[in-house]
């Protein structure tokens, strides 16, 4: 069960944790589902400020 780590970057270029999500798999649809859920939650919280979502593939740590 893969763990997705969503991070943000502040105005000083420092990263911070935004959310975690356990995915049922690693296919593209699983990531789209998690990002859609995150965007829906952010919209409910802050209706006028939707997050800008960018995806980056990362390699596994050794």
Backbone torsions φ then ψ of 18, nearest 5 degrees: -105, -45
The first and second tokens of residue 55, run together, are 């995806």
Q: Average pLDDT for residues 30-54, to the nearest whole number?
A: 80
Strands (E), the chain: 3-9, 15-22
Looking at every residue in the chain, the average pLDDT score rounds to 82
The first and second tokens of residue 62, run together, are 């050794």
pTM over 0.85: no
Backbone torsions φ then ψ of 19, nearest 5 degrees: -165, 160
């Amino acid at each position: 069960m893969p763990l997705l780590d969503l991070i943000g970057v502040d105005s000083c270029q420092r990263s911070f944790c935004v959310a975690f999500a356990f995915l049922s798999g690693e296919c593209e649809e699983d990531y789209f589902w998690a990002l859609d859920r995150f965007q829906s939650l952010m919209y409910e919280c802050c209706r006028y400020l939707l997050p800008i979502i960018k995806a980056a593939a990362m390699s596994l740590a050794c």
